[in-house]
Chain A
Amino acid sequence: QQQVKQSPQSLIVQKGGISIINCAYENTAFDYFPWYQQFPGKGPALLIAIRPDVSEKKEGRFTISFNKSAKQFSLHIMDSQPGDSATYFCAAIEGNTPLVFGKGTRLSVIA
Chain B
Amino acid sequence: EAGVTQSPTHLIKTRGQQATLRCSPISGHTSVYWYQQALGLGLQFLLWYDEGEERNRGNFPPRFSGRQFPNYSSELNVNALELEDSALYLCASSPSQGWDEQYFGPGTRLTVT
Contacts and interface: CB of A to CB of B under 8 A. Distances in A.
B72 interface: no
Interface in B55-80: 56, 58
Contacts of B100: 32, 34, 49, 93
A99 interface: yes
Contact of A45 (B45, B99, B104): B104
B21 to A, nearest CB: 13
A60 interface: no
Interface in B15-50: 33, 40-45, 48
B26 to A, nearest CB: 12
B42 A98 contact: no
A49 B48 CA distance: 21
B106 interface: yes
Contact of B99 (A36, A44, A89, A98): A98
Given A42-B106, A43-B90, A97 B42 contact: no
B59 to A, nearest CB: 10
Given A42-B106, A98-B48, A104 B42 contact: yes
B34 to A, nearest CB: 11
Contacts of B48: 98
Q: Which of A34, A44, A89, A100 is packed against the most chain B CB atoms within 10 Å?
A: A44
Interface in A17-52: 32, 34, 36, 41-46, 49
Given A32-B100, A43-B90, A103-B40, A98 B45 contact: yes
B4 interface: yes
Interface of A: 6, 32, 34, 36, 41-46, 49, 89, 93, 96-104
13 contacts: A32-B100, A36-B104, A43-B4, A43-B92, A43-B105, A44-B90, A44-B104, A45-B103, A45-B104, A98-B56, A98-B58, A99-B99, A103-B42
Interface of B: 4, 33, 40-45, 48, 56, 58, 90, 92, 97, 99-100, 102-107
